[in-house]
Structure 1
Amino acid sequence: MDLEKAPPPRRQPEGCLVVAIRIPVRIVVLLLVVPVRMVWDALVAGGRFLRDVVLRPLGRALFVWPFVALWRYLLVPLGRGLAWLGNVLLVVPLVWLYRYVLTPLGHACAWVGRGIGAGLTWLHARVLTPVGRAVMWVLRGIGAILAATGLGVLAALAWLGRYLLVVPAVWLYTWILAPVGRAIAWTVRIAVTGVGTSLYWTLRVLLVLPAVGLYRWVLAPVGRVLAVIGREVRDALGHTWRVAGRVSRAVGRFLGTLLRWIFVEPVRWVYRTVLTPAGHVVRDLLLRPAAEAARAAGRATRQALASVRASARQARADIRRTLFGQSERHEKVARRERPAHETRTLGSSTTALTKD
């Protein structure tokens, strides 16, 4: 295996005309392409921004979402309803018709057809075939009789036709028509060949040779020069388009940096240096004390409302006791189980055996 790199392809040596054309063409093309490339990059950036920010959300809002909602909430339920309706109104009746009407009717027709076929087969085998054989036997006999009586007449007619028509026609074709046709064909071929040769050399001298000289000595050199110019213009366009892209990118970065230092950095510095400390001061000196005061006022209000509700409840109880007297209170029966917050221990028990 050859591990060495293959040598790069050698470029053909270029003439002084190519070098003389290349530099001016590239300079002119660069001056023309740089503004076009900058405008193109600006349009591309604007188009991408417009697509991402305006057109795509607008397209989704105007086209995608309405069609999705139409498909999901109208067409799909409508299609399902139509499918169910078609199944009920068409498929089920057709299946029933096929199963209980057409299938028995088809079986009956097939049985009748088989019977008719069997009858026709019997008729052909037992009636038509014997009759046909008898008719053919009769026809053969009649043909044999006619052939025996008319054979001599046919032989005489054939002899007369041969010597009265065929032999004179062959002699006329062999000794008169064929030589005359060959002479005419030879004359026409000689005439056509001479006229064609004269026309060929006339057209060659008057048209072909001047056209070949024009192509070889005028059009081919001009075409080569135009091909060199076109190739250089193409290469210059590609090279200058890439250079213009780099220039446009550098200009865009410069403008972005300039805008950042003119607008973004001052706004960031003002936000970080002025607005953030001012906001902290406002938060610590105004908002937090106001929030604490609001929470304290809320707590005081809730406590005052609770005391008012307790006073009102006590007043209603005193009025009820004054008007209706004090009601008998049932003494609470001591529960055998301890409260939930008291747990059982080994030293204490609520059973009847260990109870003090």
Structure 2
Amino acid sequence: MDLDKPQPQPPQQPEGCLVVAFRMPVRIIAVVVVLPLRMAWDALVVGGRFLNDLLLRPLGRALHWLYARVLTPIGQGTAWLLRHLVVVPAVALYEWVLAPVGRGVAWLVGVVGRGVGAVLYWAARILLVVPAVALWTWVLAPVGRALAVVAHEVGAALGHAWRIAGRISRAVGRGLGTLLRWIFVEPLRQVYRTVLTPVGHVVRDAVLRPVAEAARLAGRAVGQILAAGRDAVRQARADLRRMFLGEPRPPVAVDRREPAGRDTRTLGSSTTALTKD
């Protein structure tokens, strides 16, 4: 069965040999890969059409015959019975019995509730509100105002006392600072200026500088002694080397100057003064 109709192809442009040679293997591979999938798809399509024609469509028509001839009349009859046996009596019961009874109960409850509410309102007002207002007006408000005045005055007094105490504290601190300066600082400064400074100068000039100069001289003498010792050790080592190994050979002088005249090296020839016979 041919399921696909060939579609007209647009005119193609001339292509090169390389494109044609590359296209053929690719198309062969694509056909090998896609062919099993396409055959499976065509088989599924044919099987679906066969199943639809032989089973699903007759079954659908049968279910539609059953719904229209059996289920619909049964549903309509059931609805009619429910309407006349349940809905209509329930509506009549609600309109003629329950609604009047409910309105009467609501009116009675409203009347009783308004009466009870009025009684409770006046009872609460007489027993709670009036005493509370009187307590607030004649006791709490005056006491609160008195406490506010007392707190304001106490706060102002504390603030004034804090400022005065700060001034006194600063004056006492300045006095103590002046007293400590005249008792300790000034005598110590005078002692440092008149006694310790001259003594320090004398110690520096008479003791520290000579000691430092002596230390420098001693260090210099020690350095000279160490240098003399190193020279003596070096001389002794050289004497021992000459005693065991003999006198070293004098170095041979090598003349590194350029040869003169015809023996000089030239840039144009391959023969140099060092390689010439």
TM-score normalised according to structure 1 size: 0.43
Alpha carbons of structure 1 residues 287 and 188: separation in structure 2 relative to 1, 3 Å: same
Q: Is 1:266 aligned with 2:193? A: no
Cα deviation for residue 254 of structure 1 reads 1.5
Cα deviation for residue 129 of structure 1 reads 5.6
Tell me what 2:62 maps to. Answer: 142
Which residue identity is paired with 2:62?
Answer: I
Alpha carbons of structure 1 residues 282 and 126: separation in structure 2 relative to 1, 3 Å: same
Which whole-Å deviations, capped at 9, do the CAs of 1:105-142 have from their partners, x for residues lacking one? xxxxxxxxxx9xx79x9499737864468755334311
| 1:273-312 → structure 2 map (5 Å cutoff) | 273-281=194-202, 286-287=206-207
Alpha carbons of structure 1 residues 215 and 142: separation in structure 2 relative to 1, 3 Å: same
Between the aligned partners of 1:153 and 1:279, the Cα distance in structure 2 is 132
User: Among 144, 147, 166, which residue is 1:245 paired with?
Assistant: 166
| 1:102-117 → structure 2 map (5 Å cutoff) | none
Between the aligned partners of 1:159 and 1:289, the Cα distance in structure 2 is 135
| 1:1-356 → structure 2 map (5 Å cutoff) | 122=41, 126=45, 130=49, 131=51, 136-150=56-70, 151-281=72-202, 286-287=206-207
Cα deviation for residue 148 of structure 1 reads 3.8
Between the aligned partners of 2:134 and 2:42, the Cα distance in structure 1 is 92
Which residue identity is paired with 2:163?
Answer: R
Between the aligned partners of 1:159 and 1:147, the Cα distance in structure 2 is 18
Q: Which has the higher contact order (CA 8 A, sep 6+)?
A: 1
Cα deviation for residue 292 of structure 1 reads 10
RMSD: 4.2
5+ residue gaps in structure 1?
1-114, 314-356
Between the aligned partners of 1:229 and 1:221, the Cα distance in structure 2 is 12
5+ residue gaps in structure 2?
1-33, 233-277
Alpha carbons of structure 1 residues 184 and 125: separation in structure 2 relative to 1, 3 Å: farther
Cα deviation for residue 147 of structure 1 reads 3.4
Which residue identity is paired with 2:207?
Answer: L
Q: Report the 3-state secondary structure (helix = DSSP H, G, I; strand = E; otherwise coil) of the residue aligned with 1:228.
A: helix
Tell me what 2:28 maps to. Answer: none
Alpha carbons of structure 1 residues 291 and 180: separation in structure 2 relative to 1, 3 Å: closer
Between the aligned partners of 1:233 and 1:280, the Cα distance in structure 2 is 65
Cα deviation for residue 217 of structure 1 reads 1.9
Alpha carbons of structure 1 residues 170 and 280: separation in structure 2 relative to 1, 3 Å: closer
Q: Report the 3-state secondary structure (helix = DSSP H, G, I; strand = E; otherwise coil) of the residue aligned with 1:195.
A: helix
Which residue identity is paired with 2:45?
Answer: R
**Greater C-alpha radius of gyration:** 2
Alpha carbons of structure 1 residues 166 and 290: separation in structure 2 relative to 1, 3 Å: closer
Between the aligned partners of 2:114 and 2:141, the Cα distance in structure 1 is 35
Between the aligned partners of 1:133 and 1:247, the Cα distance in structure 2 is 116
TM-score normalised according to structure 2 size: 0.54
Cα deviation for residue 166 of structure 1 reads 2.5
Between the aligned partners of 2:185 and 2:63, the Cα distance in structure 1 is 122
Which residue identity is paired with 1:287?
Answer: V
Between the aligned partners of 2:88 and 2:68, the Cα distance in structure 1 is 29
Tell me what 2:266 maps to. Answer: none
**Equivalent residue pairs, number:** 189
Q: Report the 3-state secondary structure (helix = DSSP H, G, I; strand = E; otherwise coil) of the residue aligned with 2:95.
A: helix
Which residue identity is paired with 2:65?
Answer: I
